[in-house]
Structure 1
Amino acid sequence: MSSQEEADDRELEAQGYIPVMPRRFSLWSLLSLGFTLTATWNAVGITIGSSLAESSSSGVLWTLVIAALMNLTVALGMAELASAYPSSGAQYYWSYKVASPEWASFASYVSSCVSICGWWLGLASVCNFVAAVVLAIYQLYVPEYRIHPWHQWLCYVAILCLAALLNVLGMSLIPALNECLLYFSLSTLAVTTVAILANAYPNYQSNTRIFTDTENMNRSYNKSILFILCLLNSTYGFMGFDAGAHMAEEIPSPSINVPKIIVRFVSFPHTTVLSRLIAEAALPFSISCMYVIIDVERILNPPSGLSLLEIYHQATGSRLITSLLLAAFAICLFGCAVANITGSSRQIWASSRDNCHPMSTWLAVIHARHQMPANATCVTVILTAIYGLIFVGSTTAFASMVSANIVFMMVSYVIPQGIAAYRGRSNVLPARNFDLGKFGLPINVISCIWVGFLAVVACVPTVRPVSLSNMNWVSAVILFITAYTLLAWHFWQRHSFKGPKRRQQVEEQGLVQASGHLAEKERKAD
């Protein structure tokens, strides 16, 4: 064991935890996992149809820029907390440390529940889209085939299980796999951009139409409201940038390296920045797609159900090229699903080792051979598969409920930031490598305002008049999960969960030892 690893283990033990997993990730492999998980350019492909309907081509592009800047603000606040309190519990642990003693356990519990729900909803959306791509490619070659919801659910479960198996059986390969997926994703982006632009030449949309057109196909609201709704779609592409924080116990020097992963710094703490790969990858892809669209109506109402398939096919005119590009796109998204399970399993495991959830003793077990939280992974797969059954009953309800992923993830990002800002940052944050200094308070406040704004927008019906078939179910999902979380806390968890117990025990032990030393000194002085 290197001296750095020994120092990292001592730091973890000082928090009250025993090192149980190897520090298998390097800075680059964890950066690759973060890029693979966030997958912004892929998220643009998922939401491009609804974004076009709401705010046309200019709205797709400009809301992406706004979302990138605002989510960078949120990420800066998270990076500072990760530097102050490097722990795989991340939001769960940060909330406990910055909250007042009487509210610390509750804040920690809520942060964990909200974050886990966000992870699972995000995983459901990714696996469902991959399943849709697989079936759409098959339908492209077998036109008489009709996609039924239960077909898509079976494919969805198969993809979910495969991603989980890679996490369990191939955990030692996950760092290298994510590096390969990073290169594959950037290569796919480059090839896709060149392919659709080259095949569509010279039938491009005009620059004026792409960057200034504000025509919308959704007549439910005025253009300003629709632009705001489009912001929500763009924000979807930035979910999961907390993944690095949940791997804090599997990377050397986490108080230095985890903030680098969250905000993409290269020579932290200096100002040389690895450009926000996510935003840079998404913007050229979005612009390329806008240039090659011929029939907007067909993009908005695609026979296959996938707007991206129609864009590729309109640009290339080739069934083969379209299917190859879609297959590569699906592989990138599958990598996102694998990374999602990697991060979410650590979140569940980290909070369960402090008895935060039902069956915590079982969920906190680390597999002896594979050295990863296998039980937490199994729970993730089972509950996400059951949740996917909603799609069989109502595709609209499933799509709306998945949108709640944005709300839950973003809320978990700002709970500790809001508490720190309210209680006084200098009172709750220790010395840290990444310190926002005088900019910290405004960044924390702006982050909270931004997320509150998104939470309201997410609940707005996207189509009016509202009916059972087109209802936005996000508000119902938020209400249900909030009610469950509060009731579970009141009736069960508050009696068994008192926060990171091991940390408390270490502090109490330290106080006892300090008192003993003080008494010994006083005795000798007498």
Structure 2
Amino acid sequence: MDKHEDDLDLEARGYSREMPRQFSTFSLVALSFSLTCTWSGTGSSIGISLNDASAAGTIWSLPVAALMTAFLSAGVAELASAYPVAGAQYYWAFCVASKDWRTFASYMNGWLSILGWWLASGAACNFIASLILSIVILWYPDYEIQNWQQWLVYIGLVWFAVALNVFGSQLLPLYNRFNFIISCVTLTATTITLFVCSRHNNAPPKWTFGDATNSTGWQSDGLAFLLAISNAVYAFLGTDCGAHVCEEIRDPAKNTPKVIMYPVLIGVATAFPFACACMNAITDMDAVLNAPSGLPLIQIYYQSTGSKAASSVLLALFAFCFFGCTVGNGTTCSRTIWAVSRDNMLPFSKVWATVNPRFQMPLNALCLTGTVVSLYGLIFLGSSTAFSAMVGAAVIFLQTSCALPQAIILWRGRDILPERPFSLGRYGFAINLIAVIWVVLLDILSCFPTEMPVTKENMNYVSVVSVGLTGIVLALYLFAKRGKYLGPRMPNELNHGDICHVSEGQGFDDGAWADHSESFSKKE
């Protein structure tokens, strides 16, 4: 499919191309890999997995999390192939839901996706800030990190990522390819270093691959392992990235599914050996779990190498690779906000729905993301526990937004999907069912206290945050957007207006959606 046909297909769905199709399949896979950053995500949350189910739980939770993410991502890839529009989840929910519920389903799912990206962006920036300050503590053990100091580093990272997305907008494909290569080199060098340096003083293989000691306080070892799996899922977040950038790639219906699925496979292939190397390097478990900086990874590096300089270099390279996740979050979230704002989903949508002609990217939407993530970081000044709860909510929002359209398909029947290049075929029902059941279980596990007995300090407030933010979005819909938000601009609908098909020569039904542009132009 050439560029002209791609644009015609997009116009048939009700939109005109506003951004250049500058990403190749490889550069978009590199973006998705940088954003999911599975091996780095594993390193960032390794302490929680160690507490949940020790070394074996940390290692073996990864392939399980990868398998379940693959089921969920396969359903996402099929939807992206059927409906290649940058709004992704909100657009899919509208297309597959019944007429009575499609507007509401679209609105709520769009917000779930946006909230998830915002919270995930904050989590990435906060962890990188912790990495930087933990290097300081390694050299100056008496130094105590103050929350306001970490917040300032956090703010610098947020807006540096924004600046790269703006001033380097046309170099993003090159940057992501570069980051992909550097990440692979860093991973390889780190894994080899950990194995070589700890070859004479390493953990016994029996402990590395077989010890699943439950340190959570929960009586059930099975539950502890499930908690370790739910923690490992964090390393696979963001596989839907390619769906939000699909209008910037050629032949998106065919290529976007590759962009969604490849990072899952690459992720588990990179994270598993890295986790094995880290577990093999541990000689003092208590020191790892009680690292002065609060960051177990640097203690693992130090126990392996015995060198502050080597540990600092490895951690600095780790932070550099992980920063690619922050840049990718900004890219993806800005496209998501821009896409939903084209259909008047957000307050002041006209502001966020513009593409800057100079930088050829949604500048306003990106600045909104930077501002919200910066303000969200203020919570850390008051309570790191509350901040962590909002990070956990990112898992719920992102995974649920991917599962909801699949749940609707299960309810209404898979025959509502149009023809698409990537189809799950006869396995579709089983894959969608497993994905939905998994996300329901994951949402429940994410709300469980990670330690027993529960105290004010270790209480898991994810459920409070999730319900609270969802309640705010629901109130916004009921009191501000109901009747004004009409859903995505749709092509002529077939099959009694129940399926969002697009066929050659089929265009936007201006008569059926005449009120759409009028609603969009109303003053917010």
Which TM-score tier does this pair reach, normalised by the shorter chain?
A: over 0.9
Alpha-carbon distance in structure 1 between the residues aligned to 2:57 and 2:206? 13
Deviation at 1:503, TM superposition (A): 4.3
State the match for 1:177 in structure 2. Answer: 175
Alpha-carbon distance, 1:378 to partner: 0.6
CA distance in 2 between counterparts of 1:329 and 1:495 reads 48
**Once superposed, what is the RMSD of the aligned Cα atoms?**
1.5
Does 2:286 align with 1:288? no
Post-superposition Cα deviations, 1:27-74, rounded to whole Å, max 9, x if no partner, equal: 000000010000010011111111101101111111111100010000
> Following TM superposition, by how much is the alpha carbon of 1:508 offset from its aligned partner in structure 2, in angstroms?
3.0
Per-residue CA distance 1:135-188 (angstroms, 9 max, x = gap): 111222233322101100000000000001100111011100000000111100
Q: Which of 409, 414, 426 lines up with 1:425 in the alignment?
A: 414
2:302 to 306, 310, 313: 313
Structure 1 residue 449 corresponds to structure 2 residue 416: no
Question: 324, 328, 349: which is aligned to 2:313?
Answer: 324
State the partner residue of 2:235: 237
- Tell me what 2:333 maps to: 344
- 2:102 corresponds, among 73, 88, 104, to 104
Which letter maps to 2:321? Answer: C
Aligned to 2:158: 160
Aligned 8 A contact 2:57 2:228 in 1 = yes
Kept in 2, the 8 Å contact 1:17–1:503? The answer is no
Q: Distance in 2 between matches of 1:135 and 1:509?
A: 56
Q: Which residue of 2 aligns with 1:247?
A: 245
Give the drift of 1:207.
1.7
Q: Is 1:490 the counterpart of 2:478 in the alignment? A: yes
Q: Which residue does the alignment assign to 1:192?
A: 190
Do the aligned partners of 2:15 and 2:489 also contact (CA within 8 Å) in 1?
A: no
SS in 1 for 2:422: coil
Contact 2:137–2:292, Cα closer than 8 Å, also in 1: no
Superposed CA deviations along residues 380-420 of structure 1, whole A, max 9, x for unmatched, are: 11111111111111112211220111111000001111111
Identity of aligned residues (%): 44
In the TM superposition, residue 227 of structure 1 has moved relative to its aligned partner by 0.7
1:110 and 1:275 mapped to 2: Cα distance?
26
Structure 1, 501-510 or 231-240: larger mean CA deviation: 501-510
1:409 equivalent to 2:398? Answer yes
1:496 deviates by: 1.2
Alignment match, 1:437 = 425
Q: From the two aligned structures, give the one with the greater helix fraction.
A: 1
Q: What does residue 216 of structure 2 align with?
A: 218
Q: Deviations over 1:344-388 (max 9, x none)?
A: 111111000100010100000100100101111011111111111
Q: Which amino acid aligns with 1:446?
A: I
Q: Which of 484, 487, 501 lines up with 1:499 in the alignment?
A: 487
Does the residue aligned with 1:214 lie in a helix, a strand or coil? coil
Instruction: Give 1:502 shift.
Output: 5.8
Query: Are 1:73 and 2:71 matched, yes or no?
Result: yes
Distance, in Å, in 2 between the alignment partners of 1:111 and 1:470 is 30
Specify the SS of the correspondent of 1:498.
coil
Query: C-alpha displacement at 1:200, in angstroms?
Result: 1.3
Question: What is the rounded CA distance, in whole Å, between the counterparts of 1:102 and 1:360 in structure 2?
Answer: 24
Cα distance in 2 for partners of 1:126, 1:101 equals 38
- Do the aligned partners of 2:66 and 2:264 also contact (CA within 8 Å) in 1? no
Q: Confirm or deny: 8 A CA contact 2:53 2:224 kept in the other structure.
A: yes
Q: Tell me if structure 2 keeps the 8 A contact 1:88–1:346.
A: yes
2:135 maps to which residue? 137
Q: Give the match's secondary structure for 1:496.
A: coil
What is the CA–CA distance in structure 2 between the aligned matches of 1:500 and 1:292, rounded to whole Å? 52
Match of 1:203 among 173, 192, 201: 201
- What is the letter of the counterpart of residue 508 of structure 1? D
Provide closer, same or farther for how the CA distance between residues 217 and 207 of structure 1 changes in structure 2, counting only shifts above 3 A: same
CA distance in 2 between counterparts of 1:315 and 1:63 reads 23
Q: Deviations over 1:210-261 (max 9, x none)?
A: 1111223332433111111111111111100001000110000000000111
The one-letter code of the counterpart of 1:406 is V
Residue 288 of structure 2 corresponds to 299
Residue 398 (structure 1) aligned with residue 387 (structure 2): yes
CA contact (8 A) 2:239 2:264 kept: no
Tell me which amino acid in the other structure corresponds to 2:478: H
The Cα shift of 1:93 comes to 0.6
* Matching of residue 29 in structure 1 with residue 30 in structure 2: no
Name the TM-score, length of structure 1 as normaliser.
Answer: 0.93
Structure 2 gap ranges (5+) = 494-506, 514-524
Q: Distance in 2 between matches of 1:334 and 1:241?
A: 17
The 2-side partners of 1:32 and 1:430 are apart by: 29
Q: What is the match of residue 509 of structure 2?
A: 508
Report how many residues are paired: 500
Instruction: From the superposition, tell whether residues 395 and 368 of structure 1 become closer, same or farther in structure 2 (CA, over 3 Å).
Output: same
